[in-house]
Amino acid sequence: MKASGIIRNVDPLGRVVIPKEMRKVMGINEGDPIEIVKVNNDIVMRKYIKGCIFCGRDKDVVEFNGALVCNGCKKALGKY
């Protein structure tokens, strides 16, 4: 992962401010959910979009047994 050159400190409550320029480029607005995951030895933050558990698609998604599945994957599962 290439460093962007922007450094932020973690505050006493564990918060980090995402620079306005990055929020704008990424389409992150106030109140948007952010997903934080550990990848190897890195912390990755990304805008959270509810999507299909199989392919990640966020359009034509329905809930099935408590999981989100898109119509394409739902059709593919019907073959089994």
11 lies in the same domain as 35: yes
- Please give the Cα distance from 44 to 38 (Å, whole number): 6
31 lies in the same domain as 2: yes
5 lies in the same domain as 33: yes
Q: What is the pLDDT of residues 5-26, one digit of tens each?
A: 789 999 999 999 999 999 999 9
- Please give the Cα distance from 63 to 68 (Å, whole number): 4
Residues of the domain holding 16: 1-48
4 lies in the same domain as 43: yes
19 lies in the same domain as 40: yes
Task: Give the count of domains, the chain.
Answer: 2
pLDDT at site 58: 86
In the predicted structure, residue 49 carries a pLDDT above the cut 70: yes
33 lies in the same domain as 62: no
41 lies in the same domain as 63: no
Residue 9, classed as helix, strand or coil, is coil
2 lies in the same domain as 41: yes
- Kindly report the pTM of this predicted structure: 0.58
In the predicted structure, residue 63 carries a pLDDT above the cut 90: no
